[in-house]
Structure 1
């Protein structure tokens, strides 16, 4: 009889998922899993089956059914309850479809290409300030956090001067250790923050004001969309930028390729996204009816966790998947999920990384760690994996 274990959480190598996931993927890609509240649900670890679950509309994304795969008290106010207004990641059709249709056209690859000159200017400004500061510096505070924060503030119309407000509350929401009341209060503060900006005309001509002018979404939905994009829009990109920088420094042969051959930048970014998979505890889904899945009976209401990091390391899809290789074929990676809930802002994340990472190493070709690798504090206590600090010099 297979042991019903919880989701593994301990990494042996900081750039790799917990090693148990590789064994599960090989031996039992759909297996029973014990959730922190004692519920017995499922863990899906292979690339093919991850896509199959996320493409099947019988598996719901509704927050009423969700359970956190690892202990995360801060999710308690939001899981097991109806989705907050505008929080489309916790909805199914038709509510999800209605909200996503209002936003999808604002995040196309073409729109993001149009934003590139502005993103380049933001990156140049941040790097100039970093140079003026002089090394050593914390790359998270000096580069990885300000770049996406400036970009998402400008996109949404939120004043950058208010960044401390949303960054502090966002950190609480993504923390695995925040208490339920702390997370609930942080969410309330973020909604109040967006409502206040809207009332006072403080949103400029950004996306949120465009949504208000359109009149399709109500004020609470616009505030919710704003909170979702503001928090996810800087948290995931910041983690990806910092962790990617560390991965490049830890793989000097790949860094040399990245620095010397601009033609591989786009593919290198895709490979970093695949290899690092910052959403390290997967995507929750719940069957809304009893169904047969790969020879298993999944009952309505049983939680299913789709492991994105494991799917992105599947040798059935990627050759030598545990190796960082900027020349590999990266198509099909699932760093942004899959199916109708695939990350809305993926083209923005790509554009920021394609712009910021090459610029960082052009400006500071001698960039190096300022502390031994073992002293770097990895963010294993957050739902978005990365580093809390990254001291560097040049």
Structure 2
């Protein structure tokens, strides 16, 4: 007989008071019982919650676990047994191979480390422009709206080739689309409006290509509808996560002054600081997979059709993988987080996100040496809605003008 299986009945989102960066206590408790727990989904399906680092990497690299949306169950909502439809063409995050690779491969050469390094100068300019505006307006400021959201939004606009005059309205459209608190009907409306807007952009690039990723993709066998879907993936993957990393990462720096001081004293720590913030914060909290056949996992049999919740935030705090996992340490030696996932679905835009953070954090703390929270830390409102992304709703900061 093996050890009794730990059971989790609800997926927690709230963090412990005073611990906004740590995973919910219920998830940490599940990990203490082992890397695999039973999870009862709304509607009664008994599936799995995976909290261990090694098991999550195993699932993510195993083609017997599917990413297809039509196989998914929502971890917190009961849809009354209704099966979700497949995603529209181009939205490859929720597809398996070979469809997934058909869409991903044309993009891979456009997000290489070399190409993202070439983009660094432009990211520096965009970052400086927003810091200039913050400085000119004077303290206090909401770092989310003044810096963390608009910088990645402008970078994405440039990559997709959105005309400069259209960028403010595009950014507003993005924010409506990414609003995790929107009601179902409002979310559906925003989704449709965003796809329509991207459809107009694709048509414009077909007619008159410019120097951007979307124009390059029009020179392929991909249809306009497929390009719409791929552009939507780039928006969703490249905007919300990076925006929350910039804001939540700054919050973490301000709450760990010894690490902030180390970063200011040694700019050579920047790359390691970014990787450690990615591990420590894990803004991409959970992802889903479904077993296509019976699979042995962690000493248990996961039956075909079973849904799995993958808890990235506990994997990145796994004590069997990381020494002192709950400590933020920019000189940490044991790297290798799964903040960007693993396997064939590993985040395509991870190098772009790294560039934006490697530029953004030093520029922000360098421009404002006295940067600090404008309200007590416990008053910072965290995102606790049922979203896959962890972050802050706003981050009021101030500095000595």
How far has the Cα of 1:330 moved from its partner?
4.7
1:9 is paired with a residue whose SS is coil
Q: Is 1:305 aligned with 2:315?
A: no
Size of the aligned set, in residue pairs, is: 389
Q: 2:275 aligns with which of 270, 273, 280?
A: 270
Distance in 1 of aligned mates of 2:391 and 2:183? 21
Q: 2:263 aligns with which of 255, 258, 261?
A: 258
Q: Is 1:52 aligned with 2:61?
A: no
Q: Deviations over 1:34-90 (max 9, x none)?
A: 2234322100001011101111100000111112323499xx99x721122111101
Counterpart contact for 1:140–1:242, Cα < 8 Å: yes
Counterpart contact for 2:7–2:37, Cα < 8 Å: no
Q: Is 1:292 aligned with 2:296?
A: yes
Distance in 2 of aligned mates of 1:176 and 1:389? 14
Counterpart contact for 1:65–1:286, Cα < 8 Å: yes
TM-score, with normalisation over the residues of structure 1?
Answer: 0.93
Q: Is 1:331 aligned with 2:329?
A: no
Instruction: Give the gaps of 5 or more residues in structure 2.
Output: none
**Structure 1 match to 2:384:** 380
Counterpart contact for 1:83–1:90, Cα < 8 Å: yes
TM-score, with normalisation over the residues of structure 2?
Answer: 0.92
Which deviates more, 178-187 or 135-144? 178-187
**Structure 1 match to 2:228:** 223
Distance in 2 of aligned mates of 1:184 and 1:62? 20
Counterpart contact for 1:122–1:147, Cα < 8 Å: yes
Q: Is 1:205 aligned with 2:211?
A: yes
Q: Is 1:34 aligned with 2:40?
A: yes
Counterpart contact for 2:71–2:84, Cα < 8 Å: yes
Q: Deviations over 1:279-322 (max 9, x none)?
A: 12x11000111222222221211110111000000011110000
**Structure 2 match to 1:366:** 370
**Structure 1 match to 2:184:** 180
How far has the Cα of 1:185 moved from its partner?
1.8
How far has the Cα of 1:10 moved from its partner?
1.9
**Structure 1 match to 2:85:** 81
**Structure 1 match to 2:74:** 68
How far has the Cα of 1:179 moved from its partner?
3.1
Q: 1:110 aligns with which of 109, 114, 134?
A: 114
1:107 is paired with a residue whose SS is coil
How far has the Cα of 1:169 moved from its partner?
4.9
Which deviates more, 94-103 or 292-301? 292-301
Q: CA RMSD in A?
A: 2.0
**Structure 1 match to 2:133:** 129
How far has the Cα of 1:26 moved from its partner?
2.2
Counterpart contact for 1:63–1:82, Cα < 8 Å: yes
Distance in 2 of aligned mates of 1:272 and 1:70? 28
